[in-house]
Amino acid sequence: MLEVKDLYSYYGKSPVIQGIDFQVAEGGFFGVVGRNGVGKTTLLRTLMGLTDRATGTIRFNGQDLLQKTTPERAGAGIAYIPQGREVIPRFTVRENLIMGTFPREDGSRDIPEHIFEMFPILDEFIERRAGDLSGGQQQQLAIGRALAMKPRIMLLDEPTEGIQPNIVQQIEQVLKQLNREMGLTIILVEQNTRFVREVADEFLLIEKGRVSLRGPGEALTGEVVEKYLSI
């Protein structure tokens, strides 16, 4: 579904991502790990066309994404949930979810019912302003907004960071369900290596913008974490 070759991505003249290669199969669950500041977020932003410049190859279902704008990439079925969630605080939950429908090819503004089944709190707080929600509830809203576009692949950047444990567990279960039961392809940037090891088909470990290690999820062992990710 997604093929990345010799990818370089720049802010200004400085390359942050350098020579990265990977593939994600349709229905796959792909994890990206690494210390803070090594380029994980930049990788996701590059896939969405949000850096200053990128070279190499990004192909999604046969399409050359490097030649497409960010809205065109969203229209192709790529959903992005950034670090920090970025819900619209003055908009209600309903309005935020409707915003998620804008890239849909069918033009419908209907909110898929399974979003409320996965996150009942969004239904309960449907007319509440997003800025009045807790951090965990906002994260649920951000995921729900992305699902409203009926994506083919979802990119998530640290979705469990700074969230209360009970909501972390709920988000983890939803991501498993989306991938394993609904066949949604997922690329996850996450510091929680336990979860990546549990769910990822494959993972990349990034250091200084380059891939230092890759393998199946179960290869993200305690020894690897100690060697590459400990402070």
* Per-residue pLDDT tens over the stretch 178-214: 999 999 999 999 989 999 999 999 999 999 999 999 9
pTM of the model: 0.94
* Per-residue pLDDT tens over the stretch 76-129: 999 999 988 889 999 999 999 999 999 998 889 999 999 999 999 999 999 999
User: What is the rounded distance in angstroms from the CA atom of residue 118 to the CA atom of residue 179?
Assistant: 13
Question: Could you tell me the residue ranges of all domains in the chain?
Answer: 2-228
pLDDT for 96 equals: 97
Render the burial of 43-75: b for 16+ CB within 10 Å, e for the rest: bbbbbbbbbeebebebebeeeebbebeeeebbe
Q: Which CATH number fits domain 2-228: 1.10.540.10, 3.30.2130.10, 3.40.50.300, 3.30.2000.10?
A: 3.40.50.300
